[in-house]
Amino acid sequence: YAMLLSLIFLIVLVAAIVGFVFRHEIKTNFESNLELALKDYNVTADRHSEAVNTIQRTLHCCGVQNYSDWERTEYFSQRGIPRSCCKNQNDCSQEDLKDPNKAKLKVFVDGCFFLVTSAMESKMSVVAGISFGIACFQLIGIILSCCLSRYITNNQYEMV
């Protein structure tokens, strides 16, 4: 049992170290994937487009760096900026969304990349605290299982 807990503890420790070391690569990868999702937005109405809509509605943001990122997409040339960027859904017309100058007043101007990464970084302390607590319980379990094993081994000869 102690060996199993030790193995799980080491796996969690290695995962935490790898996550910390490669956090910049994770950010870069997320940014490139978000840009790709904007480029392919609503081409096939897939889950990536739904994810972009959810992020933009939830975090009140638009585009990767700002709302003008949509101007470089094929979707913008056909329909303008998506409605998920609108501050007020009732006050966003298709004509406003096709004109970048009018859209600036109707949509969220902040980009989603900074908001998503800052939200993740702000939650990292909570995740780290929970992980530390779980690791402490695992270490206590390892120590107690070793003590129990030694106790059983020592008392085995006295019973006979």
**φ, ψ dihedrals at 110, nearest 5°:** -75, 145
| Tokens 């840009």, residue located | 35
Q: Supply the pLDDT for residue 17.
A: 81
What average pLDDT does range 133-156 have in this prediction?
83
What average pLDDT does range 101-130 have in this prediction?
85
| Mean pLDDT estimate for the chain | 84
Going from the C-alpha of 110 to that of each of 58, 60, 68, 115, the distances in angstroms are: 13, 8, 10, 8
* Cβ–Cβ under 8 Å, residues 111 and 118: no
- Look at residue 75 and tell me whether its pLDDT is greater than 70: yes
Q: Supply the pLDDT for residue 44.
A: 59
Q: Which residue has the higher pLDDT, 158 or 26?
A: 26
Structural domains in the chain (count):
1
Q: What is the CATH number of the domain that holds 37?
A: 1.10.1450.10
Cα four-point dihedral sign 80, 81, 84, 90: negative
- Residue 17 lies in domain: 1-158
C-beta neighbour count of 125 within 10 angstroms: 9
- Look at residue 79 and tell me whether its pLDDT is greater than 80: yes
* Cβ–Cβ under 8 Å, residues 5 and 146: no
What average pLDDT does range 28-49 have in this prediction?
82
